[in-house]
């Protein structure tokens, strides 16, 4: 009995007792002895020296069967993105399991243990990714949200402990790759990425890091944010920088403008200096520096010449040190040429004159703070969403349909989007019609997202609470009809341009595959230019994906939008689509890995070879009629391959046989 020993040593003794019982137990009875072990683990995590005790025993915990019967049993399929969230869970058992798992990976990475399902290299890669993704949790103090967790210091301690054993150089390398991958998708919400870059800059200074290749990658990101041009390379602060500008000659100003534009289009990130520079040069009429500072191409320059007054006013009203990304939004907005749509310029004028209702203003302040007026925040958000429609993300909210709708309107119906924003902003209500029947969001109870999301872009913060409710109400109105409600909801909710026919791969009542062959044939005949007579997709079309995890197991239904169908540089037919999920690069298992760059994707597009895409598709819209005899027939082997991939993943337990109704048939699972 180590009664008087320090906590860690005493608990180590207790753990050994629990561990021994777990070791002894036969596999079918392991679950009974896992809980006691996890209970002791969760207490060890919180005492000094406890993590070391666990590190020593991690291989034994693994071998004893601590992970049997849980998601952690197959270590190769675990996702580094989920670790941070699990560690902040209220469920102490889950936290204990995750910590034990990280220490098991550590043991395997260090070659102190082996696991037939996990290579040392994979373990190491996993840990560095986890650390990279959670960098902010172990360098700086805790954020407000962290402080509200059950164990504020726990996550930090765990990450630091792992980092000490893995080495930080590796982490930075992975983090740089990760940031570039995310930036390639040009998210509207750039705050998390900027935060990560800031943390890296601090880490490099503090740790005195001088590793070669990693340092270069980090510096490229850090300089884009903190010193993209000659005059601000030393990060002097905005006031000093503006003082320097007054002493520059015209050539110097052009050099500054080009430097900013290069960094911005390289990363999608806008430095605070860039914002200050734009505000400084915008009113100067003699030298035209704005098009250069925004890095405009021919279309953008054309728009700038035609709408110069509006653009200068937008810079003045929206671009600031607190909203620098509005500059990138404006650049891309000009570049898209949509200012030539007649309603757009006056609609933006309306946006600039808008007074928000107190409720809306409050939500924006809650989400973004009050450094600038909520109207400025929203206007900046409007420019970003119109400039980067595919950069809209749903945040951590189950509102994929709303995010998708905002994105599709920004792409396809920008003046309609501005109309919705005006309604929500000025009246805190949005009016839509469902088959002629008016639906007013102010009269409706909350939808899928019970509280209004605040971890999204300003347009989403303002609009999603309304859209979410209206979408839910439309679903409710369809409920008595039976069948898949999106058939009616999607065209009514988004616009006339959503095709009126709708095909679903499963029988809504039983959740089982139904007429999958017809489903696939119609899809190829409609979307694939090889079989539809070479017709391009005209409007973005909402579609439903059966999302699977990296082990190809069904996770849930998810809303996406199909954007275009084209051959990539290798001649493979690909579907390019928009995924409202914040990061589109996902491993759906069975070799289906969604690509976000390298296969002809535009910023924000995700893509898959068309057959792989179809293997996860469960709902799409199609024109009810088609000119007869158009296009080539769809070969049988294509459908067979898709069918095979589908039944090996999400449809594995949905084969069309007679049998019991499955839990999670389509009407019950709310897409998220």
- Given the complex with other proteins, which of 23 and 219 has the nearer CB atom? 23
- Cα–Cα distance between 218 and 239 in angstroms, integer? 26
Residue 28 in the binding site for other proteins (CB under 8 A): yes
Residue 43 in the binding site for other proteins (CB under 8 A): yes
Which position among 8, 12, 22, 40 is part of the footprint of other proteins (CB under 8 A)? 40
Which position among 19, 39, 362, 536 is part of the footprint of other proteins (CB under 8 A)? 39
Instruction: Go through the chain and tell me how many residues it has.
Output: 672
- Given the complex with other proteins, which of 28 and 625 has the nearer CB atom? 28
Binding to other proteins, residues 528-587 (CB under 8 A): none
Q: What angle do CA 281, 283, 289 make, to 5 degrees?
A: 40
- Given the complex with other proteins, which of 42 and 596 has the nearer CB atom? 42
- Given the complex with other proteins, which of 5 and 76 has the nearer CB atom? 5
**In contact, 394 and 456? CB cutoff 8 Å:** yes
Contact characters 4-23, other proteins, x per CB under 8 A: x-----x---x--xx-----
User: CB of residue 64 vs other proteins: minimum separation in angstroms?
Assistant: 14
Residue 660 in the binding site for other proteins (CB under 8 A): no
- Given the complex with other proteins, which of 93 and 357 has the nearer CB atom? 93
User: CB of residue 448 vs other proteins: minimum separation in angstroms?
Assistant: 25
- Given the complex with other proteins, which of 34 and 157 has the nearer CB atom? 34
Which position among 8, 12, 22, 35 is part of the footprint of other proteins (CB under 8 A)? 35
DSSP 8-state secondary structure symbol assigned to residue 587: B
Question: DSSP letter string over 278-322?
Answer: HHHHTT--SS--HHHHTT--HHHHHHHHHTHHHHHHHHHHH--TT
Which position among 1, 251, 625, 660 is part of the footprint of other proteins (CB under 8 A)? 1
3-state secondary structure of 259: helix
- The distance in angstroms from the start CA to the end CA of the chain is 52
- How buried is residue 624: exposed, middle or buried, by Cβ count under 10 Å (0-12/13-18/19+)? exposed
- Given the complex with other proteins, which of 68 and 434 has the nearer CB atom? 68
Which position among 8, 19, 27, 525 is part of the footprint of other proteins (CB under 8 A)? 27
User: CB of residue 114 vs other proteins: minimum separation in angstroms?
Assistant: 23
Phi and psi torsions of 617, nearest 5°: -75, 135
- Given the complex with other proteins, which of 18 and 338 has the nearer CB atom? 18
Comparing CA positions, the residue from 616, 607, 620 lying closest to residue 577 is: 607
- Given the complex with other proteins, which of 90 and 637 has the nearer CB atom? 90
- Cα–Cα distance between 268 and 295 in angstroms, integer? 12
Residue with tokens 């925004």: 294
User: CB of residue 230 vs other proteins: minimum separation in angstroms?
Assistant: 58
User: CB of residue 7 vs other proteins: minimum separation in angstroms?
Assistant: 8
Contact characters 81-100, other proteins, x per CB under 8 A: ---------xx---------
Residue with tokens 């979410």: 468
- Given the complex with other proteins, which of 36 and 398 has the nearer CB atom? 36
Residue 172 in the binding site for other proteins (CB under 8 A): no
Residue with tokens 């179809």: 614
Comparing CA positions, the residue from 408, 341, 429, 398 lying closest to residue 543 is: 408
Q: 572-584: buried (b, 16+ CB within 10 Å) or exposed (e) per residue?
A: bbbbbbbbbbbbb
- Given the complex with other proteins, which of 16 and 568 has the nearer CB atom? 16
* Residue 598 burial (CB count, 10 A): 10
Comparing CA positions, the residue from 194, 214, 341 lying closest to residue 272 is: 194
Instruction: State the DSSP H helix or E strand holding residue 365, giving kind and residue range, or none if neither.
Output: helix 358-368
Q: 168-186: buried (b, 16+ CB within 10 Å) or exposed (e) per residue?
A: bbbbbbbbbebbeebbbbb
- Given the complex with other proteins, which of 43 and 265 has the nearer CB atom? 43
- Given the complex with other proteins, which of 40 and 290 has the nearer CB atom? 40
- Cα–Cα distance between 338 and 397 in angstroms, integer? 30
Contact characters 44-83, other proteins, x per CB under 8 A: ----------------------------------------
- Given the complex with other proteins, which of 29 and 205 has the nearer CB atom? 29
> Using only C-alpha atoms, what is the Rg of the chain?
27
Dihedral angle at the C-alpha atoms of 291, 296, 302, 306, nearest 10 degrees? Answer: -40
- Cα–Cα distance between 565 and 613 in angstroms, integer? 11
Residue 24 in the binding site for other proteins (CB under 8 A): yes
Token pair listed for 513: 């595959």
Residues near 254 by beta carbon (within 8 Å), at least 6 away in sequence:
289, 292
**In contact, 381 and 389? CB cutoff 8 Å:** no
Instruction: Please count the residues of this chain forming the interface with other proteins, following the rule CB under 8 A.
Output: 22
Question: SS3 sequence, 161-202?
Answer: HHHHHHCHHHHHHHHHHHHHHHHHCCCCCCHHHHHHHHHHHH
Comparing CA positions, the residue from 139, 266, 250 lying closest to residue 200 is: 139
User: CB of residue 17 vs other proteins: minimum separation in angstroms?
Assistant: 7
User: CB of residue 649 vs other proteins: minimum separation in angstroms?
Assistant: 24
Token pair listed for 619: 């709902």
User: CB of residue 75 vs other proteins: minimum separation in angstroms?
Assistant: 22
- Cα–Cα distance between 394 and 401 in angstroms, integer? 9
Q: What is each CA distance from 635 to 518, 531, 640, 645, in whole angstroms?
A: 13, 10, 9, 16
User: CB of residue 61 vs other proteins: minimum separation in angstroms?
Assistant: 14
- Given the complex with other proteins, which of 1 and 285 has the nearer CB atom? 1
User: CB of residue 5 vs other proteins: minimum separation in angstroms?
Assistant: 9
- Given the complex with other proteins, which of 15 and 107 has the nearer CB atom? 15
Dihedral angle at the C-alpha atoms of 552, 554, 559, 562, nearest 10 degrees? Answer: 30
Residue span binding other proteins (CB under 8 A) among the ranges 36-44, 163-171, 386-394, 581-589: 36-44
Contact characters 173-212, other proteins, x per CB under 8 A: ----------------------------------------
- Cα–Cα distance between 187 and 190 in angstroms, integer? 6
Contact characters 119-138, other proteins, x per CB under 8 A: --------------------
Which position among 19, 22, 26, 153 is part of the footprint of other proteins (CB under 8 A)? 26
Residue span binding other proteins (CB under 8 A) among the ranges 2-10, 100-108, 525-533, 558-566: 2-10
**In contact, 276 and 237? CB cutoff 8 Å:** no
User: CB of residue 552 vs other proteins: minimum separation in angstroms?
Assistant: 22
Residue span binding other proteins (CB under 8 A) among the ranges 31-39, 51-59, 179-187, 624-632: 31-39
Which position among 25, 312, 662, 670 is part of the footprint of other proteins (CB under 8 A)? 25
Residue span binding other proteins (CB under 8 A) among the ranges 32-40, 65-73, 362-370, 483-491: 32-40
- Given the complex with other proteins, which of 82 and 150 has the nearer CB atom? 150
User: Which residues contact other proteins (rule: CB under 8 A)?
Assistant: 1, 3-4, 10, 14, 17-18, 24-29, 32, 35-37, 39-40, 43, 90-91
């Amino acid at each position: 009995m180590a009664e008087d020993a320090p906590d860690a040593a005493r608990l180590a003794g207790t753990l050994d007792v629990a561990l021994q019982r777990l070791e002894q137990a036969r596999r079918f009875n392991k679950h009974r002895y896992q809980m006691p072990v996890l209970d002791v683990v969760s207490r060890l995590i919180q005492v000094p020296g406890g993590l070391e005790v666990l590190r020593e025993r991690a291989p034994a915990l693994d071998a004893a069967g601590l992970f049997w019967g849980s998601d952690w049993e197959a270590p190769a399929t675990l996702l580094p993105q989920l670790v941070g969230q699990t560690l902040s869970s209220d469920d102490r058992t889950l936290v204990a399991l995750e910590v034990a798992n990280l220490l098991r990976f550590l043991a395997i990475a260090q070659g102190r243990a082996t696991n037939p399902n996990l290579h040392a290299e994979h373990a190491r890669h996993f840990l560095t990714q986890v650390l990279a993704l959670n960098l902010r949790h172990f360098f700086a103090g805790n954020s407000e949200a962290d402080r509200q967790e059950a164990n504020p210091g726990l996550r930090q301690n765990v990450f630091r402990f792992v980092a000490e054993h893995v080495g930080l150089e590796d982490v930075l390398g992975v983090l740089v790759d990760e940031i570039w991958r995310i930036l390639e998708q040009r998210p509207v919400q750039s705050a998390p990425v900027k935060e990560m870059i800031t943390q890296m800059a601090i880490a490099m200074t503090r740790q005195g890091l001088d590793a070669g290749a990693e340092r270069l990658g980090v510096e490229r990101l850090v300089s884009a944010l903190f010193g993209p041009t000659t005059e601000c390379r030393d990060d002097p602060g905005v006031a000093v920088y503006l003082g320097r500008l007054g002493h520059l000659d015209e050539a110097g100003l052009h050099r500054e403008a080009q430097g900013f534009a290069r960094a911005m289009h390289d990363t999608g990130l806008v430095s605070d200096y860039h914002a200050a520079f734009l505000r400084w040069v915008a009113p100067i009429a003699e030298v035209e520096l704005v098009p250069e500072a925004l890095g405009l191409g021919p279309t953008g320059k054309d728009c700038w010449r035609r709408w110069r007054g509006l653009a200068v006013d937008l810079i003045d009203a929206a671009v600031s040190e607190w909203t620098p990304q509005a500059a990138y939004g404006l650049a891309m907005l000009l570049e898209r040429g949509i200012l030539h749509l007649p309603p757009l310029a006056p609609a933006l004028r309306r946006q600039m004159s808008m007074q928000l209702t107190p409720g809306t203003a409050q939500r924006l302040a809650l989400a973004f703070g009050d450094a600038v007026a909520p109207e400025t925040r929203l206007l900046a958000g409007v420019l970003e969403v119109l400039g980067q429609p595919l950069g809209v993300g749903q945040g951590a909210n189950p509102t994929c349909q709303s995010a998708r709708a905002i994105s599709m309107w920004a792409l396809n119906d920008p003046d309609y989007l501005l109309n919705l924003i005006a309604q929500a902003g000025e009246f805190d209500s949005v009016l839509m019609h469902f088959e002629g029947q008016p639906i007013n969001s102010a009269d409706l109870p909350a939808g899928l997202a019970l509280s209004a999301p605040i971890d999204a872009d300003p347009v989403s913060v303002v609009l999603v609470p309304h859209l979410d409710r209206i979408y839910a109400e439309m679903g409710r109105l369809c409920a008595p009809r039976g069948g898949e409600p999106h058939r009616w909801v999607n065209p009514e909710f988004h616009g006339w341009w959503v095709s009126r026919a709708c095909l679903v791969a499963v029988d809504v009542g039983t959740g089982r595959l139904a007429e999958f062959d017809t489903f696939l044939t119609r899809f190829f005949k409609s979307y694939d230019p090889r079989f539809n007579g070479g017709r391009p997709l005209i409007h973005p079309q909402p579609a439903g994906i059966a999302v699977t995890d990296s082990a190809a197991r069904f996770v849930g239904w998810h809303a996406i939008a199909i954007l275009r169908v084209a051959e990539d540089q290798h001649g493979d037919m690909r579907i390019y689509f928009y995924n409202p999920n914040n990061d589109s690069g996902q491993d759906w298992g069975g070799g289906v890995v969604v690509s976000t760059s390298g296969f002809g994707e535009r910023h924000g597009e995700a893509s898959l070879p068309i057959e792989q895409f179809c293997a996860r598709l469960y709902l799409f819209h199609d024109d009810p009629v088609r000119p007869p005899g158009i296009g080539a027939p769809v070969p049988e082997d294509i459908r067979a391959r898709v069918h095979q991939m589908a039944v090996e993943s999400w449809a594995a337990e949905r084969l069309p046989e007679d049998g019991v109704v499955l839990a999670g048939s389509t009407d019950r699972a709310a897409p998220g």
